[in-house]
Amino acid sequence: MNSERIKALASDVFRDDYVLDVGCDHGYLAIYLKKNNLCAQVYASDISEKALLQAKSNFQKYNVDITSFVSDGFQNIPVYFNTAVISGMGTKTIFDILNSVIKPNKLIISSHNEYYKLRKGLNKLGYKIVDEQAIYENKHYYNIMLCLKKPQRLNHKELLFGISNNEEYYQYLLDKNREIIKKIPFLKRGKLWYYNHVLKGLIERK
């Protein structure tokens, strides 16, 4: 529960937020928020009854009173919330959830794939990505996006690689790209060379 990733998600939550942790699974984020009194209220939900049972058992273990719901996304949530955390899912599932009539003022999003599509879709739904964190944990980078209900049109480079200031993250992507380039035929390398050019620019900017 003391993971850097959970702390980073929590750092985007403010004291007056009414938070719904969608797909809470183990419930650690909700527990962390409640224990540290970081928001006005926190609720937890999950589509899986089994996951929610696990969360409830953790709520007991950590002695916190957190109301939870079995729910697909925002469906049938009978309480007020203005902030939704949707973390640890793929971009497709995230948009299945966000394509609802309910549009919270604030989203904290952490997907494990398709970031270009994610950023573009968030802008299209009327969300501005105001901050991005790239958090390294368990040999993996997690992108965490703080979004507010405001207009924004990120440019192509921002859609590709986001607005984080984390040079180590961009260096990690560059190294990974260089490895991939070596393994593919010369004529198919164009897009990856372009990505490398953009990444180098992000690393060298000051």
Ligand X SMILES: C[S@@+](CC[C@H](N)C(=O)[O-])C[C@H]1O[C@@H](n2cnc3c(N)ncnc32)[C@H](O)[C@@H]1O
Q: Which residues here bind ligand X, judged by CB under 6 A?
A: 22-25, 45-48, 51, 72-73, 87-89, 93, 97
In sequence order, what E strands does the chain have?
18-22, 41-46, 68-70, 83-89, 106-111, 128-137, 140-148
**To the nearest whole angstrom, how small is the minimum distance from the Cβ of residue 72 to ligand X?**
5
**To the nearest whole angstrom, how small is the minimum distance from the Cβ of residue 139 to ligand X?**
16
Q: Which is nearer to ligand X, 132 or 158 (CB)?
A: 132
Q: Which is nearer to ligand X, 87 or 91 (CB)?
A: 87
Q: Which is nearer to ligand X, 72 or 131 (CB)?
A: 72
Q: Which is nearer to ligand X, 112 or 120 (CB)?
A: 112
**To the nearest whole angstrom, how small is the minimum distance from the Cβ of residue 138 to ligand X?**
12
Name the DSSP class of 53. H
Structure tokens at 127: 């969300």
Let me know the angle formed at the C-alpha of 133 by 198 and 38, rounded to the nearest 5 degrees.
Answer: 165
User: Is the Cβ–Cβ distance between 100 and 75 less than 8 Å?
Assistant: yes
**To the nearest whole angstrom, how small is the minimum distance from the Cβ of residue 110 to ligand X?**
6
Q: Which residues are within 8 A (CB) of 48 and not within 5 positions of it... i.e. 6 or more apart?
A: 25, 70
